[in-house]
Amino acid sequence: MNDLFKPDGDYEERVRASFDRQEVMDTLGAELTSVTPGIVEIELDYKTSLTQQHGYLHAGVISTALDSACGYAAYSLMPADAAVLTIEFKVNLLSPGKGERFLFRGSVTKPGRTIIVADGQAYALDGDTNPKLVATMTATIMVVAGREGIRG
């Protein structure tokens, strides 16, 4: 671990405050369940209001939660006055989004001063069975510094 993996001040408070401002997380019923330097987890319960045509969690909902998990994993390593901006991401849908609850983990693969790359995994949780990997994401995230009025 090098310096770029060392968080600046109260990173958890900053991540939580920014997450709380993402109103779509509330719309999806998503909760921020873990924040450590460079790794963030989000969870949500299955709801029919989030489904695609076969009754599974829509790939876009999976992407929304993975994007926030990857973005906040990156943000947790940014300077306190920076803002986080996703430039692009790719998602592979490995299995149908079938489960009672879903866990989305984002982790920083490559920290950086301007560009951060994070990878994410989405797991379906179903009773006592093992978590099932349903999707992966690779996201490229930008550290936005010094833009008036843009923070978090």
Which residues form the interface with a second copy (CB under 8 A)? Answer: 18-19, 21-24, 26-27, 48-54, 58-61, 63-68, 83, 85-95, 109-110, 114-115, 117, 119, 133, 136, 138, 140, 142, 150, 152
Q: Which is nearer to a second copy, 36 or 140 (CB)?
A: 140
Alpha-carbon distance of 2 to 7, in angstroms, equals 11
Minimum distance between the CB of residue 21 and a second copy, rounded to whole angstroms? 4
SS (H, E, C) the chain: CCHHHCCCCCHHHHHHHHHHHCHHHHHHCCEEEEEECCEEEEEEECCHHHECCCCCECHHHHHHHHHHHHHHHHHCCCCCCCEEEEEEEEEEECCCCCCCEEEEEEEEEECCCCEEEEEEEEEEECCCCCCEEEEEEEEEEEEECCCCCCCC
Q: Which amino acid is at 102?
A: F
Q: Which is nearer to a second copy, 37 or 152 (CB)?
A: 152
Minimum distance between the CB of residue 111 and a second copy, rounded to whole angstroms? 10
Minimum distance between the CB of residue 151 and a second copy, rounded to whole angstroms? 9
Q: Which is nearer to a second copy, 33 or 92 (CB)?
A: 92
Minimum distance between the CB of residue 6 and a second copy, rounded to whole angstroms? 19
Minimum distance between the CB of residue 56 and a second copy, rounded to whole angstroms? 10
Q: Which is nearer to a second copy, 131 or 152 (CB)?
A: 152
